[in-house]
Amino acid sequence: MINIFYRKNGQIEYEQTTDMFAKLAIEDVLWIDLLAPDGDEKHSTEEFLGTEIQSRAQAEEIESSSRYSENEKAIFANTNFLLPGNDEYEMEAVSFTIVGGTLTTMRSVPLRSITELQRRMVARPKNYPTGFDVMAAILDQRVDLDADIIELMSKEITQYSKRINQKEDINEDFLLDINQQQENAMVVRENIVDKQRLITSLIKSDKVPDALVKKFNVTLQDVVSLINHANFSFERLEYLQNTVLGLINLDQNEIMKVFTLVSVLLMPATLVASFYGMNVKLPLEGLDLAWLLIIGMMVLTIAAIFFLFKHKKFL
């Protein structure tokens, strides 16, 4: 699918066919958005721009040279957009290509930040004079959404903390939930750091208009604050994980303490029972109430051990 946004009579209009390339000059085109394009759409766009568009494999590379590069004619940039799921987060690679003042984006799935921007761009065309302005708006919108994700994550961490304080469902499943949140926090931080690298490279570029450098600097400051917040969230999760492990260890120690106490209390009684179970002549043998005296001795030893532990504050 292709969306071509172009200027016409002071307004921004769009078409969804490559046939428009024959009717437009590159100076008139503001933004070409490629959503899971087929071979013809990608090839037609490359012919119109006069340069190649990076493939999906190139967009997913992690090396700095693949994440951002530029030549005399164009800027090539790649970054990841976060896709929240029910339990875990995924990252979708988005490729940016800027030739002159025309922006081209290529992605595989619909993205909320881009869809909302397309509506605003048609409604307020004066705010987007060049493709650089469109790209700045996309990144700014994406950073805002990342901030919302971190805020939501912070609320979930707070709920975990309340559950721990109330000792509610502190078990292995709860520990696995915290571990999954740690994985999500690392994915969010990785995604934000990727934005930091991209924006920093754009600020250093001579092709970016001076008027947008200030805006990119403001966005970069927001990104830095989000990185700090993501680090803090990860540290909170690590603290909660250690707390849960400590509580689980305490519960296990209490169980072992009970078993140990029962074993120690029954040890003297077991000794008495074993002693009178021997096949030899023993005191009290032959008495009708010998069994009752033996039981009394066993109870007395159990009580003596119990009060000794109580006095020593072992209980």
285-314 tens-digit pLDDT: 666 676 677 778 778 877 877 787 777 666
pLDDT beyond 80 at 56: no
pTM: 0.74
For residues 259 and 231, give the distance between their C-alpha atoms in angstroms, rounded to a whole number. Answer: 42
Tell me how far apart the alpha carbons of residues 122 and 6 are, in angstroms, rounded to a whole number: 10
Distance CA 128, CA 313 (A): 76
* CATH 1.20.58 segments of the chain: 249-311
User: Taking all residues of the chain, what is their mean pLDDT, rounded to a whole number?
Assistant: 81
Q: Do 189 and 153 contact (CB within 8 A), yes or no?
A: no
Per-residue pLDDT of 112-121, as tens digits, reads 888 888 888 8
Q: What is the pLDDT of residues 21-47, one digit of tens each?
A: 788 888 888 888 888 888 888 888 888
Quick one: pLDDT band at residue 276, thresholds 50, 70, 90? low
Average confidence (pLDDT) over 8-14: 82
Q: How far are the Cα atoms of 55, 275, 285 from residue 288, in angstroms, in the given order?
A: 98, 18, 9
Question: Across 13-17, 247-251, 257-261, which has the greatest mean pLDDT?
Answer: 13-17
| Predicted confidence (pLDDT) at residue 131 exceeds the cutoff of 80 | yes
Give the pLDDT band of residue 234 (cuts 50, 70, 90): confident
Where does 2-248 sit in CATH, by number?
3.30.460.20
Average pLDDT (196-225) is 87
The residue that leads in pLDDT, 227 or 86, is 227
For residue 69, the model assigns a pLDDT of 83
Between 87-96, 222-231, 281-290, the lowest mean confidence (pLDDT) is in: 281-290
| CATH 3.30.460.20 location in the chain | 2-248
In our burial notation (b when 16+ CB lie closer than 10 A, e otherwise), range 136-156 reads bbbbbbbbebbbebbeebeee
The pLDDT of residue 61: 61
Residue 185 pLDDT class (50, 70, 90 cuts) = confident
The C-alpha torsion from 146 through 147 and 149 to 150, rounded to 10°, is 120
pLDDT at site 125: 80
pLDDT over 90 percentage in the chain: 0
Q: What is the pLDDT of residue 281?
A: 66
pLDDT given for residue 190 in this prediction = 85
Residues 6+ apart with CB under 8 A from 14: 3, 4, 5, 6, 118, 122
More confident residue, 265 or 152: 152
- Class assignment of domain 249-311? mainly alpha
Residues whose CB is less than 8 angstroms from the CB of residue 177 and which lie 6 or more positions away in sequence, other chains included: 160
Position 237 scores a pLDDT of 85
Reply yes or no on whether the pLDDT at 127 is more than 60. Answer: yes
Q: Is 282 helix (H, G, I), strand (E, B) or coil?
A: coil
- The pLDDT value given to residue 216: 87
